[in-house]
Structure 1
Amino acid sequence: MKKKTNEKPTQKEKPKKPLNKALQLSGAGLQMGLTIYFGFLIGKWLDITFQTNFLKETITLLAIFLSMYSLIKQANRIND
């Protein structure tokens, strides 16, 4: 259904300000960096605890995939 031109947009239909979008995306980037860093620290701790040499890389890689998934999901939510 098309919206009439003389109607005011409702709260849900108002476009988000570009500055607001930029702040949300920069926060998502910070979250991505912290997720990867903490994944690295947890993997390093697990390597020392269990005396292995592969958990640091494995958990860091999982943290990268998790943070990318989260970033894409947040970007889609912001642009909707």
Structure 2
Amino acid sequence: MMKIKDEDKKRVGNYVKFSGIAIQMGVLITLAALGGNWLDEKQKNEFPIWTLVLTLVAIFGSLYQIIREVIKMGKDEDDSKG
């Protein structure tokens, strides 16, 4: 039988984790844009302010989540080495 190294398991786990975050990011940004578009149509805005604001909030929130996960992953890696 072929043994899988712990390092390879971590890589696959990180790949799965960040793939999931990417999917969440896409869904969140899409929902924010659709919700903003709906609000803009409801208020009959000439400039799509709600679409812009909600989409930007979703993007920054998603980036914050990614940065937080990368920092956590770095700390976990340092703890396992030390």
TM-score, scaled to structure 1: 0.71
Instruction: State the match for 1:39 in structure 2.
Output: 32
More contact order relative to length (CA 8 Å, sep ≥ 6): 1
Deviations 1:2-49 (Å, cap 9, x if unpaired)? xxxxxxxxxxxx876211111001111111111111110110011011
In 2, are the aligned partners of 1:43 and 1:60 still within 8 Å (CA)?
yes
**Bigger proportion of residues as helix:** 2
Q: Distance in 2 between matches of 1:49 and 1:78?
A: 43
- CA positional deviation for 1:55: 1.1
The match for 1:56 among 51, 54, 69 is: 51
Paired residues in the alignment total 67
Amino acid paired to 2:37: K
Contact 1:39 1:60 in 2 (8 A): yes
Structure-1 separation of matches of 2:28 and 2:71 = 19
Structure 1: 4+ residue segments shifted above 3 A: none
Secondary structure of 1:17 counterpart: helix
Q: How far did residue 76 of structure 1 move?
A: 2.5
Contact 1:32 1:71 in 2 (8 A): no
- How much identity, in percent, do the aligned residues show? 33
Taking only aligned residues, the RMSD between alpha carbons, in angstroms, comes to 1.9
